[in-house]
Amino acid sequence: MSIENLKTVQSFDIDKYDGVRAKIEKVELSPIEMKNFGEGDKEVQQIIITTSNIADENEKAINIIEYISLKKDIETGEFGIPENSKSKAQKMLKYFKVTNFKDLIGKEVRVCKKVTDKGTFLGFHYGV
């Protein structure tokens, strides 16, 4: 295949998964990465939450993944859950009535379509 031979392909139909229910299967920490946010490099770490497989009518299984950013403590340099009640992390913990992200395993989530300036994707509904 070459760049000249690339063709348009059928894309993923996000709308058919909007509102589907799935169970959270895995919660893990990402490795610490360096990312550039326009003001220089910054260390970033996230919680990665993955659902069990959801199959469509063609039996193609997908997983929905939600990323929750952690905050770096200015005194210790360790990453942790942001204290701010408006953070995605705190909203998710409150919505699911848990105090630890590991307690999300086995919880049912409603998949929802999210539209941002970066694109359209699937995520979890948790009051955000």
Phi-psi region of 69 (alpha: psi -120 to 50; beta: other; left: phi over 0): beta
What's the whole-number average pLDDT of the chain? 88
pLDDT for the residue 111: 92
Report if residue 61 sits inside a domain: yes
In the chain, the number of structural domains is: 1
Confidence band of 8 (pLDDT split at 50, 70, 90)? confident
pLDDT for the residue 79: 93
Mean pLDDT for the stretch of residues 68-92: 93
Mean pLDDT for the stretch of residues 27-32: 93
pLDDT for the residue 10: 66
- Rounded to whole angstroms, what are the CA distances from 44 to 14, 54, 88, 111? 28, 29, 15, 25
* Cβ contact 49:101 at 8 Å: yes
Identity of the highest mean pLDDT range in 13-27, 40-54, 97-111: 97-111
Segments forming the whole domain that contains residue 54: 11-124
CA–CA dist 114, 117 (Å, integer): 10
33 Cβ contact partners less than 8 Å away, ≥ 6 residues apart: 43, 44, 45
Q: Is residue 127 scored above 70 in pLDDT? A: no
Confidence band of 107 (pLDDT split at 50, 70, 90)? very high
Report if residue 4 sits inside a domain: no
Report if residue 15 sits inside a domain: yes
128 Cβ contact partners less than 8 Å away, ≥ 6 residues apart: 88, 91, 92
Distance from CA of residue 56 to its chain's centroid?
20
pLDDT for the residue 6: 87
Report if residue 119 sits inside a domain: yes
Q: Is residue 128 scored above 60 in pLDDT? A: no
Residue 30 sits at φ, ψ, to 5 deg, of -80, 160
Pairing of strands 65-69, 71-72: unpaired
Report if residue 5 sits inside a domain: no
What pTM was computed for the model? 0.79
Report if residue 1 sits inside a domain: no
